[in-house]
């Protein structure tokens, strides 16, 4: 059997690795799989593990109050040393651009173990935005042996860096997870999701907001909050739902500026099924997240990107996403246009699969089988 270990530590990684892990688990005669989590983001990670019924074989549990990037690197590498030495896998699978993904690839390199990188080739071209993710993914690409690029553009970025061997364009497993999540939800009591959001007025238009980027800490976050305040005050037919990131650099300005504003709902981070339920019901999405830039177009939701650069230019080029940065006026004007102009809204609100069709995990599984001379 092919011995594989997946290494991840955050909610986005868990979401995007879940469907691939399921694929490996569906072929027990071909794959011996171990799941290793660092616990870089403990609470948000555990929500996803529970929903997809994933049980880690190894848990480094490194998260601590006010942790730094140095803490994650040092404690993560120290914990992975013994695990990789004892298990000695054929392949390490990491996803995306987190610090956990970087140290997983670095540990594999130190142990001379082959590394597969999911969501390979994303680039913003600015090493400080997103920070530290842009440099993490550049490092991972130069450590990895197999590169699973979500789009042609991502594969071209790798070619530009002279990474040409073992590069496959497969789509993004995040879309697999979205479709799998919606399927699992429909098998449950879907009314519980509506009941959970009973504080919302379902006759109004929902604006979903997520924001957490380190490069936006300080004045940029204040600008975002003041824009949201103006939107709520100007449009009475709108409700703004903001699941707050746990980072105090996010919570402080958000609560100081938005806490008592009518029709602005500051809520705790949502478990993944509740998140995608709300995403499906939203009218407009305001985000600095990478994953939502992929998910929202698959559901036909316009995306306003609160960043100055993005590694996911496919949505921008297709017109389903638009840059607004952290400029208060730009955010207000862009949201206002979508709320008042049917033509503008319909131009962006197109259901389109820019980043995959839900079969990415199967493609990756088959490629790995072929790499190890196994029949598909």
Catalytic residue among 75, 133, 244, 314: 133
Q: Point out the catalytic residue in the list 245, 263, 307, 365.
A: 245
**3-state SS assignment for residue 304:** strand
85 catalytically annotated: no
User: Within a domain: residue 36?
Assistant: yes
**Residues 6 or more apart in contact with residue 156 via CB below 8 angstroms:** 121
30 is catalytic: no
Structural domain boundaries, residue 9: 2-172+357-371
Place of tokens 């105090």: 248
In tens digits, what is the pLDDT along the chain, a chain of 376 residues?
999 999 999 999 999 999 999 999 999 999 999 999 999 988 889 989 999 999 999 999 999 888 899 999 999 999 999 999 999 999 999 999 999 999 999 999 999 999 999 999 999 999 998 899 999 999 999 999 999 999 999 999 999 999 999 999 999 999 999 999 998 888 877 788 999 999 999 999 999 999 888 888 889 999 999 999 999 999 999 999 999 987 888 899 999 999 999 999 999 989 999 999 999 999 999 999 888 999 999 999 999 999 988 889 999 999 999 999 999 999 999 999 999 999 999 999 998 888 999 999 999 999 999 999 888 8
Q: Are residues 75 and 103 in the same domain?
A: yes
pLDDT for 215: 84
Catalytic residue chosen out of the listed positions 42, 214, 251, 265: 214
User: What is the spatial distance between Cα 99 and Cα 115, in angstroms, rounded to a whole number?
Assistant: 15
pTM: 0.87
Does residue 100 sit in the same domain as residue 197?
Answer: no
The Cα–Cα gap between 266 and 187 comes to 29
Tokens at 143, concatenated: 């450590």
CATH number at residue 340: 3.40.50.2000
Catalytic residue among 212, 263, 307, 312: 212
Are 66 and 25 within one domain?
yes
The answer to whether the CB of 6 falls within 8 A of the CB of 56 is no
Give the per-residue pLDDT at 247: 83
Catalytic residue among 13, 59, 75, 119: 119
Long-range contacts of 59-66 (CB under 8 A, 24+ apart): 60/9, 60/36, 62/9, 62/38, 63/39
The catalytic position among 13, 59, 97, 294 is 97
Assigned domain for 112 exists? yes
**CB neighbourhood size of 68 (10 A):** 10
Question: Sheet containing 58-59: which strands, arranged edge to edge?
Answer: 58-59, 31-37, 2-8, 91-95, 114-118, 146-149, 167-169
Q: Which pLDDT score is estimated for 55?
A: 97
Q: Specify whether 164 is located in the same domain as 19.
A: yes
Question: Is 234 among the residues known to form the active site?
Answer: no
315 and 344 fall within a common domain: yes
Asked if 214 is an active-site residue, the reply is yes
Q: Are residues 255 and 365 in the same domain?
A: no
Total of domains in the chain: 2
Q: Domain check: are 101 and 13 in the same one?
A: yes
In the chain, what's the furthest Cα-to-Cα distance?
Answer: 62
């Amino acid at each position: 059997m092919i011995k594989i270990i997946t290494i991840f530590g955050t909610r986005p990684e868990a979401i995007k690795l879940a469907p691939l892990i399921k694929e490996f688990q569906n072929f027990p005669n071909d794959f011996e799989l171990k799941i290793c989590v660092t616990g870089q983001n403990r609470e948000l990670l555990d929500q996803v593990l529970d929903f997809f019924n994933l049980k880690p074989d190894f848990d480094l549990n490194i998260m601590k109050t006010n942790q730094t990037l140095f803490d994650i690197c040092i404690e993560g590498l120290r914990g992975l040393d013994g695990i990789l030495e004892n298990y000695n896998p054929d392949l390490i699978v990491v996803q995306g651009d987190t610090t956990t993904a970087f140290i997983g690839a670095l540990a594999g390199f130190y142990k001379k173990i082959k590394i597969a990188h999911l969501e390979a080739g994303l680039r913003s071209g600015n090493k400080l935005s997103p920070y530290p993710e842009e440099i993490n993914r550049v490092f991972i690409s130069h450590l990895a042996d197999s590169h699973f690029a979500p789009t042609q553009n991502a594969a071209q970025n790798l070619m530009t860096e002279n990474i040409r061997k073992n590069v496959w364009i497969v789509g993004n497993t995040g879309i697999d997870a979205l479709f799998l999540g919606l399927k699992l939800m429909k098998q449950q009591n879907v009314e519980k999701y509506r009941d959970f959001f009973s504080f919302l007025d379902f006759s109004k238009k929902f604006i979903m907001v997520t924001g957490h980027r380190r490069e936006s800490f300080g004045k940029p976050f204040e600008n975002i909050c003041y824009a949201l305040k103006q939107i709520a005050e100007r449009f009475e037919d709108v409700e703004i739902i903001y699941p707050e990131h746990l980072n105090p650099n996010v919570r402080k300005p958000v609560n100081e500026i938005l806490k008592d504003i009518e029709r602005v709902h500051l809520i705790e981070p949502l478990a993944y099924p509740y998140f995608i339920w709300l995403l499906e019901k939203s009218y407009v999405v305001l985000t600095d997240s990478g994953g939502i830039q992929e998910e929202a177009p698959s559901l036909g939701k316009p995306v306003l990107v609160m960043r100055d650069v993005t590694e996911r230019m496919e949505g921008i080029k297709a017109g389903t996403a638009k840059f607004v940065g952290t400029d208060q006026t730009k955010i207000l004007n862009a949201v206002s246009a979508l709320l008042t102009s049917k033509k503008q809204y319909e131009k962006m609100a197109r259901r389109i699969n820019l980043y995959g069709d839900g079969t990415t995990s199967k493609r990756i599984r088959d490629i790995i089988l072929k790499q190890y001379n196994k029949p598909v």
